[in-house]
A and B are shown apart, each in its own frame.
Chain A
């Protein structure tokens, strides 16, 4: 069979209340049999729209206005609805970002896989079940016989994604489109899922389009890469040329902004500066050195424990210190208890046991319900993960930032409050004209800045940051990390930086606490990244995808004997 997929000058327009929006402005690409193509770009670049256009699953407001998508000799843009149904699943299938949402919660997974098989081939329920079992085995689910009758909520996120892969390959498609398949999964899970995908596509000689915002991931698993910006392909080439010799300024910026095992905050600062020139906001002041007073401890955590009922222990006997002006990273996979620790320290929930000693006062003994009225509330502030969900949709930016000033510094409306809000906003890089806007009128990066401005407005001494950049594009992440680093120097704030991204923690923190299953696995300085003592820390570090010019790509592993049934 000749020719895989070929897209020629594809244009997609969405009609919105503000008139038509061009989502794809004429993209062309080729994908041969058995190839893996990475589509990278930031949010809004049109990479997902490309995937939906190929499967003709665009929302009703999106229309293909021009171009051809030729797959195996036929033009998908002209297929009838019934031909499309035959095509979807049987020759092209898709894997989505959130596997839990893509699976039907009230149907056993064996039945859901069987549904996919029976939609395209006439087999009995019994035969379909047997095939589903085979598929579960091939996606390497442990104890597949028992899992056939399991429901999605009984499986972990990584397991759900494997089930999705099983459904996607059920009818032996030739092209698999994976739209951010591992976003939201832990790095170690990401590694197993991606390795599985690479193996399956290699075994079955399938081609794959991997859509991702993570350059490292694309580098590790793709033969060719296209970089998209604003609905256009700005650069294309083999993985090697894109990473070693990026031509387009946008690609260069992306590559520079992606944290690598060796990048430092100063590398990111350069990216941030390049982006900020367009904002013409605060010029970067001369970096003030960190002033960590030796020995002065701001926060002592001793034997901190959180039990939810008699047998669920979320956090088990955790102890560590944060020095005045110091920065401690708290890393671990989902379920490791890192967020629970940060919420106990911020006094939003009660610890079951142990001490939280802030400035030689045990604030763990103060009930969370009344903590809003004690003096330490001012000293410990939070920056939340999801910039969308952490801003009150009914507050303007001004009110968001003014809120802690009103409550904790008892400032009344007036000149002083306005001055403080404006000053804080400027420090966080928010222009004056944004102050009257509402959260839904801001970009992701601007929302993150508002969240930071709100937290620093009352000059806390400890800032607890819960995955502050997890939801942001890499170039925005670079700017935000740089901003946080600068604010920390200026105010001599201490950071508790909770993150699953070890590269980010390495850049931001002097000390790292690695947590696993509620316990501290390892504590160390930044040298820990070069020489981890615990095998768990090592596995976390190894799982981070990155471009290694000398390393072998997973895809190039020897092909296992052709899968046959």
Chain B
């Protein structure tokens, strides 16, 4: 374990961008975990007297049309957005990589059927598909997670399948069979751990994408509903005021969204270097 750590330190020392990205993600996690203690104001408390104030010393990011502190709302929103993204990605990763690994290892008719189903899912415009799912299932955080996970599934199935396809002919897979492992056990104990480094990169990129997706759904009024602080809703509500010159209502949630996605994307590549055991010596 200490060798993993020292290896990570070595990779990060030579890679400033990854270090910054990981630090950024770390900060987001802190915000999400300790939001109630970090917010300077109550994110839900309205104060109409101080509505639509531009950024100032008291309200660093300004206030919205109901006088709520935008910074506080941004911090609290981190929690919800990360939960949605993480749950969706974990769900689609777990199901997708399992299905994909089996298809890649077993091949044959199972592989062909699953492959065609995946092709059909990918033929839909994925965001529209997610919208339709939330509309049908009902407006709730849980349904946003399910919809986002579902539209991510094809990515994981295809990715795991391709990775396993490369690895299934390695000597250690045959060695595992000679050691008495069944197909199930070869897939779960041998192949899945070995495709993890590549999958982790995918997870990181996917987290950013899932956040945009969740925010996009809320922006359209699906899923999370006001007054719950969420970046997508904040952008949607603020959009009405931008023509009046009250830019801070949209700019700060938008910026938070952009930086978060950027952090996850940049973290991906660095993670690959850290996780690949062959790069350690």
A408 at the binding interface (Cβ < 8 Å) = yes
The A-contacting residues of B in range 178-203, CB under 8 angstroms, are: 178-183, 185, 190, 193-194
Contact check, B178 vs A381: say whether CB atoms are below 8 A apart: yes
Contact check, A393 vs B278: say whether CB atoms are below 8 A apart: yes
Task: Please give me the residue from chain A that is nearest to B179 by CB atom.
Answer: A404
Q: Kindly state the separation between the CA atoms of A384 and B172 in the bound complex, as whole angstroms.
A: 9
A384-B175, A390-B171 known; A408-B180 Cβ under 8 A: yes
Q: Kindly state the separation between the CA atoms of A343 and B171 in the bound complex, as whole angstroms.
A: 12
Q: Chain B contact residues (Cβ within 8 angstroms of A): what range?
A: 20 to 34
B176 at the binding interface (Cβ < 8 Å) = yes
A307 at the binding interface (Cβ < 8 Å) = no
Contact check, B280 vs A392: say whether CB atoms are below 8 A apart: no
B277 at the binding interface (Cβ < 8 Å) = yes
B120 at the binding interface (Cβ < 8 Å) = no
Contact of B180 among A348, A390, A407 (CB under 8 A): A407
Contact check, B182 vs A372: say whether CB atoms are below 8 A apart: yes
Measured between beta carbons, the chain A residues less than 8 angstroms from B194 are 392-394
Task: Please give me the residue from chain A that is nearest to B180 by CB atom.
Answer: A407
Closest chain-B Cβ to A339's Cβ sits at a distance in Å of: 11
A377 at the binding interface (Cβ < 8 Å) = yes
Measured between beta carbons, the chain A residues less than 8 angstroms from B240 are none
B56 at the binding interface (Cβ < 8 Å) = no
B47 at the binding interface (Cβ < 8 Å) = no
Contact check, B182 vs A390: say whether CB atoms are below 8 A apart: no
- The digit string for A377-412, where 1 denotes a CB below 8 A from any CB of B, is 110111011100111111000000001100110000
Contact check, B179 vs A389: say whether CB atoms are below 8 A apart: no
Contact of B172 among A346, A389, A407, A455 (CB under 8 A): A389
Contact check, A382 vs B174: say whether CB atoms are below 8 A apart: yes
Closest chain-A Cβ to B156's Cβ sits at a distance in Å of: 20
B243 at the binding interface (Cβ < 8 Å) = no
A413 at the binding interface (Cβ < 8 Å) = no
A124 at the binding interface (Cβ < 8 Å) = no
Q: Interface centre among B10, B177, B180, B183, by most A CB within 10 Å?
A: B180
Measured between beta carbons, the chain A residues less than 8 angstroms from B2 are none
B123 at the binding interface (Cβ < 8 Å) = no
The B-contacting residues of A in range 165-202, CB under 8 angstroms, are: none
B170 at the binding interface (Cβ < 8 Å) = yes
Q: Interface centre among B171, B181, B280, by most A CB within 10 Å?
A: B171
A384-B174, A384-B175, A441-B281 known; A394-B181 Cβ under 8 A: no
- The digit string for A424-457, where 1 denotes a CB below 8 A from any CB of B, is 0000000000000010110000000001001100
A360 at the binding interface (Cβ < 8 Å) = no
Q: Chain A contact residues (Cβ within 8 angstroms of B): what range?
A: 20 to 34
A372-B180, A392-B190 known; A382-B280 Cβ under 8 A: no
Contact check, B281 vs A389: say whether CB atoms are below 8 A apart: no
A2 at the binding interface (Cβ < 8 Å) = no
Q: Kindly state the separation between the CA atoms of A317 and B176 in the bound complex, as whole angstroms.
A: 29
Contact of B281 among A372, A380, A440, A454 (CB under 8 A): A440
Contact check, B182 vs A377: say whether CB atoms are below 8 A apart: no
A369-B183, A392-B194, A404-B179 known; A440-B172 Cβ under 8 A: no
Measured between beta carbons, the chain A residues less than 8 angstroms from B176 are 392, 403
Measured between beta carbons, the chain A residues less than 8 angstroms from B10 are 17
Closest chain-A Cβ to B259's Cβ sits at a distance in Å of: 31
- The digit string for A351-394, where 1 denotes a CB below 8 A from any CB of B, is 00000000000000000010011000110111011100111111
A18 at the binding interface (Cβ < 8 Å) = yes
Task: Please give me the residue from chain A that is nearest to B175 by CB atom.
Answer: A390
Contact check, B171 vs A373: say whether CB atoms are below 8 A apart: no
Task: Please give me the residue from chain A that is nearest to B10 by CB atom.
Answer: A17
A348-B177, A441-B281 known; A394-B182 Cβ under 8 A: no
Q: Kindly state the separation between the CA atoms of A131 and B181 in the bound complex, as whole angstroms.
A: 57
Measured between beta carbons, the chain B residues less than 8 angstroms from A343 are 174
A384-B171, A384-B175, A385-B171 known; A18-B180 Cβ under 8 A: no
Q: Kindly state the separation between the CA atoms of A136 and B134 in the bound complex, as whole angstroms.
A: 66
Measured between beta carbons, the chain A residues less than 8 angstroms from B181 are 372, 403, 407
- The digit string for B134-175, where 1 denotes a CB below 8 A from any CB of A, is 000000000000000000000000000000000000111011
Contact check, A372 vs B177: say whether CB atoms are below 8 A apart: yes
A369-B183, A385-B171 known; A393-B178 Cβ under 8 A: no
Contact of B171 among A381, A386, A403, A438 (CB under 8 A): A386
Contact check, B170 vs A389: say whether CB atoms are below 8 A apart: yes
Q: Kindly state the separation between the CA atoms of A384 and B178 in the bound complex, as whole angstroms.
A: 11
Q: Kindly state the separation between the CA atoms of A285 and B85 in the bound complex, as whole angstroms.
A: 63
Contact of A454 among B170, B179, B183, B185 (CB under 8 A): B179
Contact check, B179 vs A403: say whether CB atoms are below 8 A apart: yes
Q: Kindly state the separation between the CA atoms of A392 and B171 in the bound complex, as whole angstroms.
A: 8
Q: Kindly state the separation between the CA atoms of A372 and B182 in the bound complex, as whole angstroms.
A: 6
Closest chain-A Cβ to B119's Cβ sits at a distance in Å of: 27
Measured between beta carbons, the chain B residues less than 8 angstroms from A18 are 281
Q: Kindly state the separation between the CA atoms of A343 and B174 in the bound complex, as whole angstroms.
A: 10
Contact check, A390 vs B281: say whether CB atoms are below 8 A apart: no
Q: Kindly state the separation between the CA atoms of A451 and B175 in the bound complex, as whole angstroms.
A: 9
The A-contacting residues of B in range 81-129, CB under 8 angstroms, are: none
Q: Kindly state the separation between the CA atoms of A392 and B190 in the bound complex, as whole angstroms.
A: 7
Q: Kindly state the separation between the CA atoms of A108 and B180 in the bound complex, as whole angstroms.
A: 46
Measured between beta carbons, the chain B residues less than 8 angstroms from A454 are 175, 179
Contact of A373 among B178, B182, B193, B278 (CB under 8 A): B182
A372-B177, A372-B181 known; A390-B280 Cβ under 8 A: no
Q: Kindly state the separation between the CA atoms of A126 and B182 in the bound complex, as whole angstroms.
A: 59
Task: Please give me the residue from chain A that is nearest to B172 by CB atom.
Answer: A392
21 contacts between A and B (CB under 8 A): A17-B281, A377-B178, A382-B175, A382-B178, A384-B171, A389-B170, A390-B170, A390-B174, A391-B175, A392-B175, A392-B190, A393-B194, A394-B194, A403-B176, A403-B179, A404-B179, A407-B181, A440-B278, A441-B281, A451-B175, A454-B179
Q: Which residues in B have some Cβ–Cβ distance to A below 8 Å?
A: 10, 170-172, 174-183, 185, 190, 193-194, 277-278, 280-281
Q: Which residues in A have some Cβ–Cβ distance to B below 8 Å?
A: 17-18, 343, 346, 348, 369, 372-373, 377-378, 380-382, 384-386, 389-394, 403-404, 407-408, 438, 440-441, 451, 454-455
Assuming A392-B194, A438-B277, what are 17 further A-B pairs, CB within 8 angstroms? Answer: A348-B177, A369-B183, A372-B177, A372-B182, A380-B178, A382-B175, A384-B174, A389-B172, A390-B171, A390-B172, A390-B175, A394-B194, A404-B179, A407-B180, A408-B180, A441-B281, A455-B178
10 closest residue pairs by CB, A with B: A390-B171, A407-B180, A404-B179, A389-B171, A408-B180, A384-B171, A392-B172, A372-B180, A394-B193, A382-B178
